[in-house]
Amino acid sequence: MMIGKEIRIERIMDRNTGRSVVVPMDHGFTLGQIDGLLDMTTTISEVSEGGANAIVLHKGIVKRGHRRRGRDIGLVVHLSGSTSLNPDPNDKVLVCTVEEAVALGADAVSIHINLGAPNESRMLESAGKVVKDCNRWGIPLLVMIYPRGKGIDPTSPATVGHCVRVAEELGADLIKTNYTGDPVSFKKIVTSCSVPVFIAGGEKAGDLETLKIIRDSVKAGGAGVCVGRNAFQRENTSAFVRALCRVVHEEMDPEQALMEMG
C-alpha cells in the first residue's frame, strides 16, 4: 500500500521514466511583473498543453491555474520568498506553510536554500521545520539549493555536490540545483545521492543550447529539469515545453526535438 508521499510523487514524476519536467513560475514574487508571467492562467495552460509534469507557484497564484479543464498538471507550492528590492535577495524566508499548501491541493511543496549566503543558518533552520511538517502531512519536499555567496563558484562540482548532500541529509524528497557544466562531474553527484536530482534551467538561453544541457544531465542520471524563464518566456511556450519533454522522457536528440516543435 502506498503512503501519501509516494502517491503524490507519482503526480509530479513520470511513472515510466522516473523523470520530470517542472516549470517554476514563482519569479513574479522576486522580480515583479515580468514577461511570460503577466497572464498566469494562459501561461499555465500553455505549459500544461506542452506536457510538463508539474508547475511551481506561490500560494496566491494557485487560483489562477486550472485543474478543472484542459490537461491536469502537478502542483508544487513554493514556501520561500525574497525580492530583488532587498539588498540581499539571497535571503529567503518562509512565506507559506505546509498546512496551507495541503489546503490548496498541492502535490508537493518547495523551499529555497542558498548555501554560503549571509543568512544560510536561518534558511537551514527553516528547512528543518518544513521537513518535519512534510513528514507529518505526507507531502513531498523539493529543495531548491544553490551555492551562492562571496567567492563561491556556483557550478563547481565540489560546491554543487555539497548542496545536494545538505538537501539529502535534511530529508529532501527531490532536489534542484545547478548543473556542473559536464556530465562526468554531474554523474558523480547524482549517483552519490539517494533522491532524484534536477538541474535548474538558469537564465534564458538559446533553444538548442538549453536542450543540449538538459540532454547531457539526463544521460548522466539526472531526474530532469526545473526550467522557468527558458520555458515561459519562449515565443511558443507549449512547443518548447513539448521539446523539453521529448528530450527528458524520450531521450530525443535536441536537434530533432527542435525540428518537431511544431
**Predicted confidence (pLDDT) per residue in 104-156, tens digit:** 999 999 999 999 999 999 999 999 999 999 999 999 999 999 999 889 999 99
Q: Measured at the alpha carbon of residue 7, what is the angle toward residues 70 and 80, in degrees to the nearest 5?
A: 75
Give me the mean pLDDT over the 45-70 stretch: 89
> 173, 176, 179, 216: which one is catalytic?
176
pTM: 0.95
Q: Residue 115: beta bridge partners?
A: 147
Average pLDDT, the chain: 93
Question: Can you read off the three cell numbers belonging to residue 78?
Answer: 513554493
CATH number, domain of 8, equals 3.20.20.70
Residue written as grid cell 527528458: 248
Q: How far is CA 122 from the centre of its chain?
A: 21
The number of folded domains in the chain is 1
CA–CA dist 113, 62 (Å, integer): 22
- Give the model confidence (pLDDT) of 5-42 as tens digits: 999 999 999 999 999 999 999 999 999 999 999 999 99
Q: Is 92 a catalytic residue?
A: no
Residue 146 annotated to the active site: yes
Longest dimension (CA), the chain: 49
- Residue in 146, 173, 179, 216 annotated catalytic: 146
**Does the pLDDT value for residue 1 go beyond 50?**
no
50-61 confidence digits (pLDDT tens): 999 999 999 999
Nearest CA to 241 out of 227, 251, 254, 253 is that of 227
Contact residues for 103 (Cβ-Cβ < 8 A; gap 6+):
none
Mean pLDDT of 196-215: 87
| Residue 249: band (very low, low, confident or very high) from pLDDT cuts 50, 70, 90 | very high
Segments forming the whole domain that contains residue 145: 4-259
Tell the residue number behind the cell numbers 529567503, with chain if given: 92
pLDDT confidence of 3, banded at 50, 70, 90? Answer: confident
Helix H, strand E, coil C: the string for the chain is CCCHHHHHHHHHCCCCCCCEEEEECCHHHHHCCCCCCCCHHHHHHHHHHCCCCEEEECHHHHHHCCCCCCCCCEEEEECEECCCCCCCCCCCEECCCHHHHHHCCCCEEEEEEEECCCCHHHHHHHHHHHHHHHHHHCCCEEEEEEECCCCCCCCCHHHHHHHHHHHHHHCCCEEEECCCCCHHHHHHHHHCCCCCEEEECCCCCCHHHHHHHHHHHHHCCCCEEECCHHHHCCCCHHHHHHHHHHHHHHCCCHHHHHHCCC
Let me know if 26 is a catalytic residue: yes
